[in-house]
A and B are shown apart, each in its own frame.
Chain A
């Protein structure tokens, strides 16, 4: 280990490397974009009006001012940024108008994470961030420090933590080898599987929305008297696509009907956008998860991944509050799960994600994360050991969401329309029945003396594991139907997750609550 003092002198305020300016530019742009989202987007009609004026000079001047402002603010931030080391702490001083100084004792630091952009990697630098248990996001970040300094700082923090605070804990989790590879580096087959199953449908939905706008624009373009004189840019683009698309179709299928050809263009555009979305997802997955690997170092899990920016995340095993094993439809087809272990309620920081893990690998990782707490538990969502939720869960929601609103709607429809078309409303309860049935089939739970696994989902499964030692509060809730059927909803909360088990026997719910309170209150060790 390289001593900290050999890299940086103590008790001296240091400036960050000039490369850190890039970090501050990125940070300022992100902050600027957040403000743009909260201030300008809600007033998007003003923005739309402004852009429609096509005053390119004014737009250019405003964009120029914005760019200059970004760089100016970033430079001042970089100029004001300082950090200092003492034998037991690190201090960071920053701020443009309001100066903020943060003193972090090494013993409070839970994880030291690295983030290396392309420039950092070329120059042998890294961004280093410190997580404490009390913060939802990274407490402090020092950009563009040398790897030598980062490694020695982390070693000093580890040493301090092991020596002063957690001698028993560290012995419990001692692991023999210094570093053990748990998941070997992902290669291209894994990357492709992650890429094709990542991303969200919102992106596709946005495109489909645009296509719908296209269809609407197309119909309005043709209803206007002289379509050739269309001034609307979108309408003209639509006209161009329709004309050329039809010509292309006519070349392949002679005599194709124009309406059929237009419908075909619509389908082709949707397919094109779906393919584009998949490519986009694949590329972003490669950027994020390239060469992912997972290691264990005594009581710490470390993941490394990224193409241009390499992110190294660490999570202390005894601090893990919950583990979520989930799948979406695409990952279900590829037969893998995504595993997310959380140390705090933050969605990004204190969170370790394994983007691709088989059922067996997920089980192994859960057992590693919770040690003996998971004895007898299964992490395969299809395991027969899961206890089903009472069918009352299905029936109550079916009547509440499906039958009652339908009867009301049928009444109103019969009163108003004097027609048999109200019969179409009957589709709604059938739809609700299907959704509720799927939800009921997927819902379940399994527990032992020390942890609970909750299963839920609609088309795919999600498993949430909470160890009892991490639970913060517990509630028992009864609605009218539950009071009548002697059932209840048990809600268990910890600092990262909340699970609700509906329609379990009221006596079991109360016993469970009393047992959970007993285990928290009689525990000798503090929650961590």
Chain B
């Protein structure tokens, strides 16, 4: 375990740590947007579920299967459907209340960090030095709630996607990222190291 920090010029306690940084939560109205989006999804899926239920009833009444099979199938389908419905209701209408306040980001001098998750938390850190481009996106629902999302790409693909930002914040962050990318390209060009595309 001590191989990593043998180098005396980098003592562990002097390293800047992600744990101590002040986090900023995404916009609160993002929760309402997610709830509305989930309502739309459920309005599409519920009629499909009802349709499937009636199809099952028709199959059931056709009498091809034996009595035991019908009983087992009814238990299985009923049990499975109840569990699925409970899970979906929880995901659609309860999770946004828990999830959105925990979606937080932090911008440091050298990197952007993004933390999310309720039962399982994940913190991703992407250094500016590795970024290749950044873009902001605004879908119809996001425009309705005056929100935007920021996507940051490295050579490994999408590194971070922060949803639920105000358009101003998203654009400021995007400009900041692009400025940083440009700064690093300039620095590398001055150092005569490789090409300026980061590749």
A associates with B: yes
Segment touching A, from B24-32, B34-42, B43-51, B121-129? B121-129
Complex interface: chain B residues within 8 A of A416 (CB): 71-72, 75
Q: How far is the CA of A134 from the CA of B184 in the complex (A)?
A: 18
Of A333-341, A454-462, A520-528, the segment with at least 4 beta carbons within 8 Å of chain B is A520-528
Does A260 count as interface, using CB distance less than 8 angstroms? no
B16 at the interface (CB under 8 A from A): yes
**Chain A stretch 307-355: residues in CB contact (< 8 A) with chain B:** 345
The chain A residue sitting closest to B185, CB to CB, is: A526
Q: Which of A69-77, A118-126, A206-214, A474-482 contacts B (4 or more CB under 8 A)?
A: A474-482
For A134, A165, A449, A475, the residue with the greatest tally of chain B CB atoms inside 10 Å of its CB is: A475
Contact B195–A412 (Cβ < 8 Å)? no
Name B112-136 residues within 8 Å CB distance of A: 117, 119-130
Which one of B76, B122, B128, B193 lies within 8 Å of A412 (CB-CB)?
B76
B156 is an interface residue with CB less than 8 A from chain A: yes
B160 cross-chain contacts in A, Cβ below 8 A = 473
B15–A518 touching, CB < 8 Å:
yes
Q: B82 at the A/B interface (Cβ < 8 Å)?
A: no
A416 to B73, CA, bound (A): 10
B7 interface hit (Cβ, 8 Å): yes
Contact A449 B7, CB 8 Å, known A475-B122, A514-B16, A526-B193? yes
Most chain B CB inside 10 Å of its own CB: which residue of A168, A476, A514, A527? A527
Contact B188 A526 (CB under 8 A): yes
Using known A-B contacts A412-B76, A415-B75, determine if residue A376 contacts B3 with beta carbons closer than 8 Å. Answer: yes
Residues of B contacting A447 in the complex (Cβ-Cβ under 8 angstroms): 3-4
Structural contact, A494 and B156, CB atoms closer than 8 A: yes
Of residues 449 through 495 on chain A, the ones whose CB sits less than 8 Å from some CB of chain B are 449, 471-480, 483, 493-495
Using CB atoms, name the residue of chain A closest to B76. A412
Nearest CB of chain B from residue A299's CB, rounded to whole Å: 13
| A496 CB to nearest chain B CB (Å) | 8
Q: Mark B140-161, 1 if CB is under 8 A from A, else 0.
A: 0000000000000011110110
B195 contacts A165, CB within 8 Å?
yes
> A521's contact among B3, B119, B127, B188, by CB below 8 Å, is which?
B127
- In the assembled complex, the CB of A499 is this many whole angstroms from the nearest CB of chain B, namely 12
Residue from the set B71, B76, B120, B192 with the largest chain A CB neighbour count within 10 Å: B120
Expressed in whole angstroms, the Cα–Cα distance for A166 and B125 within the complex equals: 30
Q: How far is the CA of A125 from the CA of B3 in the complex (A)?
A: 52
Q: Which of B76, B110, B119, B199 has the most CB of A within 10 A?
A: B199
**Inter-chain contact B191/A524, CB cutoff 8 Å:** yes
B34 CB to nearest A CB, Å:
21
Query: Contacts of B167 on A, CB cut-off 8 Å?
Result: none
Chain A, residues 487-524, CB within 8 Å of chain B (1/0): the string is 00000011110100000000010111111011011011
Q: Does B98 contact A (CB under 8 A)?
A: no
* Chain B residues near A474 (CB-CB < 8 A): 124-125
Given A134-B197, A477-B122, A480-B120, verify A527-B130 contact (CB < 8 Å).
Answer: yes
- Give the contacting residue for A472; candidates B19, B71, B76, B154; CB below 8 A: B154
Query: With A472-B159, A473-B130, A527-B130 in contact, do A514 and B199 touch (Cβ < 8 Å)?
Result: no
Contact at A493–B18, with CB atoms within 8 Å?
no
Q: Are A478 and B110 in contact (CB under 8 A)?
A: no
* Interface: B58 (CB within 8 A): no
Asked whether, in the complex, the Cβ of A493 is within 8 Å of the Cβ of B156, the reply is yes
Say whether B15 contacts A528, CB under 8 Å. Answer: no
Q: Which chain A residues lie closer than 8 Å to B127 at the CB level?
A: 473, 517, 520-521
Q: Can you name 6 A-B pairs with beta carbons within 8 Å?
A: A473-B124, A473-B159, A494-B155, A511-B15, A517-B18, A521-B110
A521-B129, A526-B194, A526-B198 are known; give 15 further A-B pairs, CB within 8 A.
A132-B199, A133-B197, A345-B156, A376-B3, A477-B122, A494-B156, A510-B17, A511-B15, A515-B15, A520-B127, A521-B111, A524-B191, A526-B193, A527-B129, A527-B130
* Chain B residues proximal to chain A, CB less than 8 Å: 1, 3-7, 10, 12, 15-19, 71-72, 75-76, 79, 110-111, 117, 119-130, 154-157, 159-160, 184, 188, 191-195, 197-199
Chain A interface residues (CB < 8 Å from chain B): 107-108, 132-134, 165-166, 168, 345, 376, 387, 412, 415-416, 447-449, 471-480, 483, 493-496, 498, 508, 510-515, 517-518, 520-521, 523-528
